[in-house]
Amino acid sequence: MKLLIINGPNLNLLGLREPAIYGKEDYSTLCEMIKDACKDIEYEIYQSNHEGDIVDKIQSAYKCFDGIVINPAAYTHTSVAILDALKAVGIPTVEVHISDINTREEFRKFSYVSLYAEKQIAGHGLKGYTEAIEYLKNKLM
Ligand code: DQA
């Protein structure tokens, strides 16, 4: 059982970036939390600020990973390419957002990835990643 955790643009700046919205914990703290949640399985964490690199990473997950946890960040609201890549590989996917995108600006309410993801967790802070990992472990193990 192997999970791929993907983080999109600006999530490497957690802690520094709008802490009132995204919290004071930094990206390395998030990685530690993920490591903890994945202690009984194999996993890889990937972060990129580039849409095409995220598409490449999803494509390379085919037949290598059993589940994907993805926070596409701003690409959530714009990227048909990331949606199509997820559909192409057909890997069970949970979408995570630290903030509650459904109660913020209008443009954040629509998520392309939600058209494929089997679950969206939004507004639970960093613990949303742990919840997503638990969900996929329960489903896939
Ligand atoms: C985000 C929400 C997005 O709207 C935003 O562009 C992000 C982070 C979140 O985790 O709450 O970069 O995906």
pLDDT in tens, 106-120: 999 999 999 999 999
Which strand (E) or helix (H) includes residue 121? strand 119-122
Is 77 an active-site residue?
no
Q: Mean pLDDT, to the nearest integer, of 60-75? A: 98
Catalytic residue among 43, 97, 116, 129: 97
Tell me yes or no: is domain 2-140 CATH 3.40.50.9100.
Answer: yes
Is 22 an active-site residue?
yes
The pLDDT assigned to 81 comes to: 99
**The pair of three-digit structure tokens given for residue 67, joined into one six-digit string:** 């589940």
Q: Which residues contact 82 (CB under 8 A, 6 or more apart)?
A: 51, 54, 55, 58, 70, 72, 75, 112, 113
pTM, rounded to two decimals: 0.98
